[in-house]
Amino acid sequence: MPTPLRIDFVSDIACPWCAVGLNALERALAELQGEVVAEIHFQPFELNPQLGPEGEDADTHLAKKYGLAPAQLERNRAVLRERGAEVGFTFNRRERVVNTFDAHRLLHWAAGEGRQRDLKHALLRAYFTDGEDVSRAEVLLRVVQAVGLDAARAQAILASDEFAEAVRAQEAYFQTRGIQAVPAVIVNQRHLIQGGQPVEVFAQALRQIAAEQPAVALH
């Protein structure tokens, strides 16, 4: 009988390695079908909580934050495109880095609607593949509707502070547990797999955890 695993996937919409990591994790779980059954909970993390609604030019932001020269930026993008292609994710040019807090509020809501995973994938594609500004309400509402969620309900959330306190509490919780970089994959609330690892690394780690750890109730 498959071993049940709880996986907390701590990540940001604006994190390219989170897109790589999520797709690699899901491919690893597909390989382990029959051995493990996992329930993924997407947890919020903001790489750039200080950004205003206008965002910032992507090249300027990355050069300033990481001290990268233009040639280094292009090399990093080439690596990301290659790693993304390996797991079925397409990276195109993004012009701006934006604030993702509202996207996280919608993801929190979508968990209760049973559509969190669908919305997470759709937001990552909107930002990294389609180059859309996922801080803008009209973009968020279009993505919400595309995955079958209620756009009117989402609009009401965006027009208020609903779920803001819950998202900040979750962010603070994982930061107090030492999560300072994403993606962070926490299995059974005990085991950390850090970074956008290859499929085989996720598969090996999950198989080992399933074999060594007692099963936990999924909730």
Query: Domains plus CATH for the chain?
Result: 3-212 (3.40.30.10)
Q: Give the pTM.
A: 0.94
Residue 191 scores a pLDDT above 90: yes
Q: Please calculate the CA angle 116-119-122 and round it to the nearest 5 degrees.
A: 150
Residue 42, beta-bridge partner list: 9
One-letter amino acid for residue 3 of the chain: T
Element (H, E) at 36: strand 36-44
For residue 75, how many other CB atoms are within 10 A of its CB? 12
Tallying the residues shown for the chain, one arrives at 219
pLDDT in tens, 63-102: 988 898 889 999 999 999 999 999 999 999 899 999 999 9
CB 210 within 8 A of CB 36: yes
Residue 108 scores a pLDDT above 70: yes
Residue 213 scores a pLDDT above 50: yes
**What does the alpha-carbon distance between residue 130 and residue 132 come to, in Å, rounded to a whole number?**
6
Of the pLDDT bands very low, low, confident and very high (cuts 50, 70, 90), residue 214 is low
Query: What tokens were used for 3?
Result: 């071993």
Residues 6 or more apart in contact with residue 34 via CB below 8 angstroms:
2
Residue 176 scores a pLDDT above 90: yes
